[in-house]
Amino acid sequence: MSYTQKEIIDLVRPTKVHRKVYTDPEVFDLEMERLWAKTWIYIGHESQVQDKGSYITLNYGKVPVVMVRDTDMEVHVLHNRCGHKGVKLVDKACGKIPAFRCCYHGWRYRLDGKLLGVPYMESYEDTAFNKEDPQYSMQKLRSDSVRGFVFATMNADAPDLRTWMGGAADVMENLCDRAPDGEVEAAGGVLRYEHECNWKMFIENLNDMMHPMVVHRSVVECARDYIKTLPPDSPRLDEAEILLPFGASYEVMNDSITGFKYGHHYDGGKTSIHADYTLDPEYAAAMKSAYGEARMNEILSFNTHNTLYYPSLTIKSAIQNIRVVRPIAYNKTIIETWSFRLKGAPDSMLKKTLLYSRLINSNGSMVGPDDLTAYFRAQQGLESEASDWIEMHRHFGKDEVLTDRVIGKGTSDLDVRTQYTAWREYMTVAA
Amino acid sequence: MGVVAISANKQEEIERFLYLEASYLDRPDLDNWIDLYTDEGTYWMPAIPDQKDPDNHISLFYDDRVIMEVRRRNFVHSAAASKDYDVRASHIISNIQVTDMDEETGDCTVTSNFHCWLYYNDKQTPYAGRYTHELISDGLSYKIQSKRVDIINCDATLNTIIIYI
């Protein structure tokens, strides 16, 4: 790697960042090594591996891993790699197995990754090969979960998951508290959307509250135009409730952004683009009977927009939808959209979550493709050397710095500054 | 699903109708396309093979009249950056089979295979799969009550699908 420590430090200034953080493949490789491998990465939700032997596969950065439910019901995250010749052991998105068995030479592993058997062991007689040597087992990643959301890290020295999340954990708690039974489960599948842009462009857009009224103006205007053609006493439209707030003014978007150590942040709190959704009466009744009215109101009035668990997970507690960032190359990223069912809530709640995911995040939606157009044009535009710097001045110097968090206006660049503070720290530690 | 025996005339009438719909999507001309649908008509592109319903699982598209009306306007709106690029398509429909026919009303269910090449933003992308049309007959022609579009790579990682297939 040709970047010196100083050159990495110099890529990020308090109010600007160098274009190479998006355009240089070498920076991407360093990010995978120093940032992604060193922090907690979202793997999946425990509800995706409900039975013994159930597994899901994914890439942690560039590394293939598998999340699996063991016979004692513990969940492990393992390197998806045979200890023999490195062959991926399972290659479906999800499945169920009694044990891992390699398709090449038939090596078998327990669900916790321990090597069980090697065919024709006689052939290793009088050699130094020792089946019990842990290097021949599937390697386990350090993993932990919050309310069923499983994260893993390749860094033995990373802080524990809760400490790492800090105050941003409140939103994950809130997402789950919105279930009358206090639990959520992944439901309704996933959409995988290829983005021709650097992974950071996607997460930097999440709490960029200056873009919706520009990027999403067309769909908001078209929805308004259509509604005008309907008779005045027409029933309320879920589609309108979801789409119209994307056209909210700068003033409405200005509630607040709260940033945390390690790059996490959320937008809103008192209000958000989700704040005016009609409360389903059947859901309200279930919540009231589960929590009592005061606690129910407390849960439902914590209104955030997007919450980022830097760098891999972004959640929307108010609509129970999450997006997961899977970087492929400096200019290619896969964004997964998952929806969650609130246990104990009527089916109408999941239906609305799926409507949201489809209307806003689907490859066929009228919102996501306009965001993506801005990202890939930025990816292309930043090849220009007209200027090396991307500014992030907005409300700089006006953030309120508390012991565990930084709070600024909703239209602040605080979210991006928070990310790059963390980025620089990860990228320069023990290089 | 079984195949219903129908007259050659009927078969041709149905085929002509499917070709008309495809020709509006070739251009694409959503203002004329939407008129082929009933007021309750839906356009559904599932996200997994054999998806049972659009309510309990995510779909790539599931448009009712409301979303179709918004999409029709948005497709030509000058502020939608993703629509800055020309969209051109070429649909081929074949293996057209009537799988259900109400002899009294003429309403029918029609399945077909399609190949669609879509040109958008300097890229040409092939889509292939199966259509299932539920058609309502008014004696002269048809309206679409539902169109289901199962693309064979529906559960793969996909890029933007800028228009109905």
- Find the CATH number of the domain harbouring A385: 3.90.380.10
**Per-residue pLDDT at A165 exceeds 90:** yes
Same-domain check for residues A250 and A366: yes
How many CB atoms are closer than 10 A to CB B86? 9
Overall domain count for chain A: 2
Burial A143-177 (b: 16+ CB within 10 A, else e): bbeebbbbbbbbeeebeebeebbbbbbbbbbbbbb
Cα-based distances in Å from A370 to A56, A207, A361, B147: 31, 16, 11, 26
Tens of pLDDT along A188-231? Answer: 999 999 999 999 999 999 999 999 999 999 999 999 999 999 99
Number of helices (H), then strands (E), in chain B: 3, 6
Look at residue A120 and give its three-state secondary structure: coil
Same-domain check for residues A192 and A77: no
A57: in domain: yes
**Per-residue pLDDT at A1 exceeds 80:** no
Chain B neighbors of A359, CB-CB under 8 A: 67
A248: in domain: yes
- pLDDT value of position B144: 98
Chain A neighbors of B82, CB-CB under 8 A: 369-370, 372-373
Same-domain check for residues A297 and A389: yes
Same-domain check for residues A80 and A227: no
The domain made up of B8-151 is a member of CATH 3.40.30.10: no
**Per-residue pLDDT at A273 exceeds 90:** no
Same-domain check for residues A301 and A386: yes
Q: End of a domain among A84, A112, A146?
A: A146
Tens of pLDDT along A56-90? Answer: 999 999 899 999 999 999 999 999 999 999 999 99
A249: CB partners within 8 A, 6+ apart: A213
- pLDDT value of position A431: 46
Supply the DSSP symbol for A303.
E
d(CA A119, CA A285): 59
Partner residue opposite B157 with nearest CB, options A192, A217, A229: A192
- Closest-CA residue of chain B to A223: B70
Chain B neighbors of A215, CB-CB under 8 A: 81
A257: in domain: yes
Give me the total of CB pairs closer than 8 Å, taking one residue from chain A and one from chain B.
110
Cα-based distances in Å from A245 to A224, A322, B78: 11, 19, 20
Do B56 and A373 lie within an 8 Å CB cutoff? no
Amino acid letter, A209? M
Same-domain check for residues A262 and A141: no
Q: What percent of chain B has pLDDT over 70?
A: 99
In A, what residues contact B, Cβ < 8 A?
93, 187-194, 196, 215, 217-219, 221-223, 225-226, 229, 237, 239, 243, 334, 337, 339, 347, 350-351, 354, 357-359, 362-364, 366, 368-370, 372-374, 377
Mean pLDDT lowest among A95-104, A148-157, A272-281: A272-281
Task: Give the residue-averaged pLDDT of A149-161.
Answer: 97
Q: What percent of chain A has pLDDT over 90?
A: 94
Question: What is the separation, in whole angstroms, between the first and last Cα of chain A?
Answer: 10
Chain B neighbors of A217, CB-CB under 8 A: 79
Tens of pLDDT along A104-149? Answer: 999 999 999 999 999 999 999 999 999 999 999 999 999 999 999 9
Domain spans in chain B, listed from the N-terminal domain onward? 8-151
Same-domain check for residues A280 and A202: yes
- pLDDT value of position A96: 98
**Per-residue pLDDT at B87 exceeds 50:** yes
How many CB atoms are closer than 10 A to CB B153? 12
- Closest-CA residue of chain A to B64: A239
Taking the CA of residue B82 and the nearest CA in chain A, the distance in Å comes to 5
Length of chain B in terms of residues written = 165
Strand-by-strand arrangement of the A16-18 sheet: A12-13, A16-18, A389-391
How many CB atoms are closer than 10 A to CB B125? 17
Angle in degrees, CA A57, A38, A139, rounded to 5: 45
Look at residue A407 and give its three-state secondary structure: strand
- pLDDT value of position A272: 82
Tens of pLDDT along B120-160? Answer: 999 999 999 999 999 999 988 999 999 999 999 999 999 99
A10: in domain: no
- Closest-CA residue of chain A to B164: A364
**Tokens coding B127:** 């889509």
Look at residue A404 and give its three-state secondary structure: coil
- pLDDT value of position A430: 59
Model confidence at B12, in pLDDT bands (50, 70, 90)? very high
Do B58 and A189 lie within an 8 Å CB cutoff? yes
A9: in domain: no
- Whole-number average pLDDT of chain A: 96
Which of A333, A304, A334 is closest to A320 using CA atoms? A304
Task: Give the residue-averaged pLDDT of A22-38.
Answer: 97
Same-domain check for residues A203 and A294: yes
A237: in domain: yes
Partner residue opposite B80 with nearest CB, options A218, A359, A377: A218
A18: in domain: no
Q: Range of A90's domain?
A: 41-146
Q: What is the ipTM of this complex?
A: 0.96
A21: in domain: no
Do A357 and B58 lie within an 8 Å CB cutoff? yes
